[in-house]
């Protein structure tokens, strides 16, 4: 039995048609995934189903008494939610019916009616609906969605936008309506919260419609797919993986049918011409009629979707050079941030005792929200100062960094101006390059400030690819991108020879792209030799970042001990020294020139202190050299003689200082204990 039915739904904005004769129905307990490219109308369809918008054509029929809840991409919370004294109370209000029943039971108790049948009936109904376990479920839901015990007492108005969206999701989970409509619910969830939500949605008895670009999430939660494409809705059975297979088969079959039909039309045209040339008028008219019927019944070939095509070569100059074998190394690195008050101690977020990335490796950075993944990437990129330890880049490293914070300013008022202000190329070259990122025609004149989340992400990818890089630092590169665009990025990253460090919550992306992980958790950053699935299996078996760090430290101590202990050599006892020989003239022969004595060895403590100073200086100079080389490649610097002379001069000074420091380092190694 359907609890909601959409019949011939149409939606238009001016002359632009968003939805065209959309018909579908949702049954009780059915879980539906809504997919399609950005801008195809998924949010519009959800809002119409929820009753927040009215269709221009068609009608929506809802079951009488249907309870319905919707989570928008950006939560717009009501005044009652924001006015709640704390987060726990705000989410608790999601179960408004149970709260009313609890208040009524309490009033009946105070009035002395606890022994009456009406009280017993209401109490039984309250218990059947889970009223007595409500407090436990609220705490479990908030914990599952990533809130800590300290967060429960915070006022909703003090939460960030992402936290408010998660709180709104928690309230909907507690409300447990008959029909739950979710628009991109995974945007602000970390991996643990994603897995919790998947399990919760699988267990609920109500119906679900979820619009999402997270393929792993759709595979885990839905049993049917609604695809919005070319303003029409097509229904597929199964999860996302089943839909992808069916969609490919349907498109291939439709393409073959269209090709066969076109061949028949072409054959009829040839026959019409043949009979006309032979003046066989009756036959000619017969085939003209057949040709007309074929042209009228021509099937629509599947229209090729607009696909993101990342260029294999940067827009500026040649491709990236080949880097050294070790691209980046972190030695006992401490990441965090300094307070506004310079006298206050900095805030330490995490420590990376021993990490390195080799040339061509694709490493995913994973961990809970707030653990320090973005802080780590920003520190490697040079945006944040390291608090302690060292970062060393290999030779020839060209760094490219794509930040997560989409609020950062983009140069230029329009899309094409943003590119032209980054690199001076011709308008034709700029338009051809932007077309690869789906900015075609008048799209290049869109105002940057009015771009959607997906369009802004595509523009940032375009600007990221302007300069050649062989080390990619990517922070949530698939944010706001649809599935087709995510698959294009996956294909590009799987083939590029560049070294990749990427923060992502997209599990399919991590599985496809990354062969190793850096796990940020419990104040540590530790390596994991395997992909995402292997890591989750290890975590289920008891793997923790702390235990992994202890094992690696013990291994390094053992290796260092073996290297530090020289082999024991047994020597025979020395004979007494013979008397010095004399020559014929009674004088002793000249002594041979003594060999230069080796430098005096340092104590372990002195060696360690001097080594730390030199390592820190090498790291500082190496980072500065890398940033100056990036500045040298910047067209804005190249076109400014004064700025170019300043950068060139500083780069020469840094090179000289590096040479001096490296020589001091080599001399220190000769005096190692």
Q: Is residue 167 part of a domain?
A: no
Nearest to 452 by CA among 412, 395, 406: 406
Dump pLDDT digits (tens) for 448-496: 888 877 788 888 888 888 888 889 999 998 888 888 888 888 888 888 8
| Average pLDDT over every residue of 197-211 | 93
Q: Are 351 and 523 in contact (CB under 8 A)?
A: yes
Whether residue 74 is predicted with pLDDT greater than 70 in this model: the reply is no
pTM exceeds 0.75, yes or no: no
Q: Is residue 584 part of a domain?
A: no
pLDDT bracket for residue 560 (50, 70, 90): low
Q: 234 and 252: one domain?
A: no
The sign of the CA dihedral 492, 494, 498, 500 is positive
Q: 212 and 269: one domain?
A: no
d(Cα 194, Cα 145) in Å, to the nearest integer? 8
Torsion of CA 324, 554, 521, 480, to 10 degrees: 30
d(Cα 416, Cα 432) in Å, to the nearest integer? 11
Q: 416 and 551: one domain?
A: yes
Q: Is residue 425 part of a domain?
A: yes
pLDDT of residue 580: 45
Among the three residues 532, 559, 586, which one is the final residue of a domain in this structure? 559
pLDDT of residue 258: 83
Q: 553 and 642: one domain?
A: no
Say what percent of the chain tops pLDDT 70: 88
Q: 449 and 555: one domain?
A: yes
Dump pLDDT digits (tens) for 299-337: 766 665 566 677 766 777 666 778 888 899 998 899 998
| 3 state SS for 336-375 | EECCCCCCCCCEEEEEEEEEEEECCCEEEEECCCCCCHHH
- Two tokens at 652? 């020469």
d(Cα 291, Cα 542) in Å, to the nearest integer? 70
Among the three residues 276, 296, 316, which one is the final residue of a domain in this structure? 296
Cross-strand bridge partners of residue 518 = 365, 527
Say what percent of the chain tops pLDDT 90: 35
pLDDT of residue 534: 93
pLDDT of residue 591: 44
Q: 535 and 638: one domain?
A: no
The CATH number given to whatever domain includes residue 610 is 1.10.287
| Average pLDDT over every residue of 587-602 | 51
d(Cα 178, Cα 204) in Å, to the nearest integer? 10
Q: 502 and 551: one domain?
A: yes
Dump pLDDT digits (tens) for 389-402: 999 998 888 888 88
Q: Is residue 542 part of a domain?
A: yes
pLDDT of residue 80: 82
| Average pLDDT over every residue of 501-516 | 93
Listed range (281-285, 411-415, 516-520) with the worst mean pLDDT? 411-415
- Two tokens at 41? 């109308």
Q: 406 and 380: one domain?
A: yes
pLDDT of residue 514: 94
Listed range (178-187, 202-211, 391-400, 410-419) with the worst mean pLDDT? 410-419
pLDDT of residue 27: 93
Most confident of 119-128, 458-467, 637-646: 119-128
Q: 492 and 370: one domain?
A: yes
Higher pLDDT, 623 or 357: 357
Quote the mean pLDDT of the chain: 83
In eight-state DSSP terms, residue 556 is H
Q: 437 and 289: one domain?
A: no
Q: 49 and 5: one domain?
A: yes
Dump pLDDT digits (tens) for 346-356: 889 999 988 99
Dump pLDDT digits (tens) for 573-584: 344 444 444 444
Q: Computed over its alpha carbons, how large is the radius of gyration of the chain?
A: 34
| Average pLDDT over every residue of 493-517 | 91
pLDDT of residue 628: 77
Dump pLDDT digits (tens) for 140-184: 999 999 898 889 999 988 888 788 889 999 999 999 999 999 999
Dump pLDDT digits (tens) for 33-73: 999 988 788 999 999 999 999 999 999 999 999 999 999 87
Q: Is residue 406 part of a domain?
A: yes
Among the three residues 559, 589, 622, which one is the final residue of a domain in this structure? 559
Q: Is residue 96 part of a domain?
A: no
| Average pLDDT over every residue of 184-189 | 87
Boundaries of domain holding 250 = 246-296
Q: Is residue 371 part of a domain?
A: yes
Tally the domains of the chain.
Answer: 4
pLDDT bracket for residue 589 (50, 70, 90): very low
pLDDT of residue 436: 84
Q: Is residue 114 part of a domain?
A: no
The CATH number given to whatever domain includes residue 345 is 3.40.50.300
φ, ψ for residue 2, nearest 5 deg: -80, 140
Q: 221 and 259: one domain?
A: no
């Amino acid at each position: 039995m359907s609890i909601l039915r959409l019949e011939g739904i149409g939606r238009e904005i001016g002359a632009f048609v968003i939805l065209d004769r959309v018909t579908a129905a949702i049954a009780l307990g059915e879980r539906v995934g809504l997919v399609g490219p950005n801008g195809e109308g998924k949010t519009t369809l959800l809002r119409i189903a929820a009753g927040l918008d009215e269709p221009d054509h068609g009608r929506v029929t809802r079951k009488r008494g249907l309870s319905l809840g919707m989570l928008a991409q950006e939560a717009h919370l009501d005044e009652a939610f924001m006015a709640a004294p704390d987060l726990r109370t705000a989410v608790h209000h999601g179960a408004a019916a149970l709260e009313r029943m609890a208040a009524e039971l309490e009033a009946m108790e105070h009035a002395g009616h606890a022994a009456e049948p009406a009280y017993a009936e209401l109490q039984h109904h309250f218990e059947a609906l889970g009223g007595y376990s409500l407090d436990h479920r609220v705490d479990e839901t908030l914990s599952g969605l990533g809130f800590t015990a300290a967060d429960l007492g915070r006022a909703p108005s003090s939460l960030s936008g992402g936290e408010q969206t998660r709180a709104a999701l928690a309230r909907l989970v507690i409300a447990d309506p008959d029909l739950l409509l979710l628009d991109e619910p995974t945007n602000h969830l970390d991996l643990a919260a994603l897995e919790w939500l998947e399990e919760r949605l699988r267990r609920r008895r109500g119906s679900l419609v979820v619009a999402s670009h997270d393929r792993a999430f759709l595979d885990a939660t839905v049993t049917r797919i609604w695809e919005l494409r070319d303003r029409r809705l097509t229904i597929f059975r199964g999860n996302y993986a089943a839909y992808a297979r069916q969609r490919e088969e349907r498109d291939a079959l439709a393409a073959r049918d269209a090709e066969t039909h076109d061949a028949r039309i072409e054959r009829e045209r040839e026959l019409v011409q043949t009979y006309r040339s032979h003046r066989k008028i009756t036959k000619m008219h017969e085939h003209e009629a057949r040709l007309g019927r074929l042209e009228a019944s021509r099937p629509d070939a599947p229209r090729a979707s607009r696909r993101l095509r990342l260029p294999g070569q940067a827009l500026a100059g040649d491709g990236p050079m080949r880097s050294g074998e070790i691209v980046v190394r972190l030695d006992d690195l401490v990441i965090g941030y300094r307070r506004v008050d310079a006298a206050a101690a900095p805030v330490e977020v995490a420590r990376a005792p021993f990490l390195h990335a080799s040339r061509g490796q694709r490493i995913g950075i994973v961990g809970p929200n707030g653990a320090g993944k973005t802080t780590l990437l920003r520190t490697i990129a040079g945006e944040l100062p390291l608090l302690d330890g060292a970062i060393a880049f290999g030779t020839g490293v060209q760094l490219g960094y794509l930040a997560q914070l989409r609020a950062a300013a983009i140069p230029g008022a329009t899309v094409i101006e943003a590119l032209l202000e980054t690199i001076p190329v011709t308008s034709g070259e700029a338009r051809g390059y932007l077309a690869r990122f789906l900015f075609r025609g008048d799209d290049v004149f869109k105002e940057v400030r009015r771009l959607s989340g997906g369009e802004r992400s595509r523009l940032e990818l375009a600007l990221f690819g302007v300069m050649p890089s062989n080390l990619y630092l990517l922070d949530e590169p698939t944010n706001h991108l649809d599935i087709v665009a995510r698959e294009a990025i996956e294909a590009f990253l799987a083939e590029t020879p560049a070294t990749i460090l990427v923060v992502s919550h997209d599990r399919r992306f991590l599985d496809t792209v990354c062969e190793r992980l850096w796990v940020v958790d419990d104040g540590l950053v530790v390596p994991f030799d395997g992909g995402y699935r292997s890591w989750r299996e290890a975590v289920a078996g008891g793997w923790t970042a702390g235990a992994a760090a202890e094992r690696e430290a013990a291994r390094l101590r053992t290796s260092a001990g073996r290297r530090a202990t020289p082999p024991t050599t047994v020597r025979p006892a020395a004979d007494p020294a013979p008397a010095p020989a004399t020559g014929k003239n009674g004088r002793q022969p000249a002594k041979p020139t003594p060999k230069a004595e080796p430098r005096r060895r340092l104590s372990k403590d002195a060696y360690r202190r001097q080594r730390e100073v030199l390592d820190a200086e090498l790291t500082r100079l190496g980072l500065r050299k890398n940033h100056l080389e990036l500045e040298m490649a910047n067209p804005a610097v190249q076109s400014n003689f004064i700025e170019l002379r300043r950068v060139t001069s500083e780069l020469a000074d840094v090179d000289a200082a590096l040479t001096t420091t490296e020589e001091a380092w080599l001399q220190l190694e000769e005096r190692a204990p």
